[in-house]
Amino acid sequence: MERAVLAVLEAIGDDPGREGLRQTPARVARMYQKVFSGVGEDPRRQFSLFRVPHQDGIVVVKDIAFHSMCEHHLLPFFGKVHVAYLPRDSRVTGLNSLTRVTDVLSRRPQLQERLTNDIADALMECLRPRGLLVVTEAQHLCMSMGEGDKYGTTAVSSAARGAMLSLPRRREALLMMNLPHTVAKGSNRPGRPRASHRKSGHGRNARRAAPRKA
Ligand SMILES: [Zn+2]
């Protein structure tokens, strides 16, 4: 890893021997261990469940922070994950488990859409809810740095499963998440269980507006 960072510093034309850069390869190597600690990890491990009698309505956990690395540019994208689910047999989970799933799946080269779907799939397996909605909101540094004036653009992605494929359920969940502006505009319809959508940013719309180098 240190050799690879050294090679990058040389390739960009800087002097890896100068004072400020001398320890950089070692520092980046240590940092990358943490940033990519989710590679090869199983998000379903250490998932805890408990029962809350008669908890049959939608449960929402909002604003789970995440930091990930865009696999196209190896630059950070970061933001929040919101989870809404309809418990089965009064089974619920805690913030720790949701945070752990999010950490494991975000600390690896990722794409926002896949992160959203990966979290949904892991939670469907561990929690077996009647329905699930995962929404991620993120800023992508490859957008703000690569194309100049895109600071503050937020990309939104969602994944619905089971009973949350029904529009009224999803609308209720989004209202509880305080994200009414995200209420479906046609995507994520029943019958398209894997669909995810974005409002702007790192996706197709953004690329159409400003083609960017790969
Ligand atoms: Zn990117």
CA distance 147 to 151: 9
How far away, in angstroms, is 141 Cα from ligand 1 center? 7
Both 64 and 28 in a single domain?
Answer: no
CATH number for the domain that contains residue 168: 3.30.1130.10
- According to DSSP, residue 48 is labeled -
Both 23 and 82 in a single domain?
Answer: no
How far away, in angstroms, is 62 Cα from ligand 1 center? 25
In a domain, 41, yes or no: no
Work out the pLDDT band at 56, boundaries 50, 70, 90: confident
pLDDT digits (tens, 9 = 90+) for 20-36: 999 999 999 999 999 99
Both 61 and 31 in a single domain?
Answer: no
Both 141 and 92 in a single domain?
Answer: yes
Both 74 and 133 in a single domain?
Answer: yes
- How many structural domains does the chain have? 2
pLDDT digits (tens, 9 = 90+) for 64-121: 999 999 999 999 999 999 999 999 999 999 999 999 999 999 999 999 999 999 999 9
How far away, in angstroms, is 25 Cα from ligand 1 center? 23
Q: What residues have a C-beta under 5 A from ligand 1, the ion? A: 70, 72-73, 142
Both 122 and 60 in a single domain?
Answer: yes
Both 7 and 81 in a single domain?
Answer: no
Both 131 and 154 in a single domain?
Answer: yes
How far away, in angstroms, is 120 Cα from ligand 1 center? 22
How far away, in angstroms, is 155 Cα from ligand 1 center? 12
Q: pTM for the full model?
A: 0.83
Task: Please give the residue range of the domain that contains residue 193.
Answer: 49-209
CA distance 186 to 37: 36
- Angle at which helix 24-35 crosses helix 2-11, to 10 degrees, equals 120
How far away, in angstroms, is 84 Cα from ligand 1 center? 27
In a domain, 43, yes or no: no
Both 9 and 57 in a single domain?
Answer: no
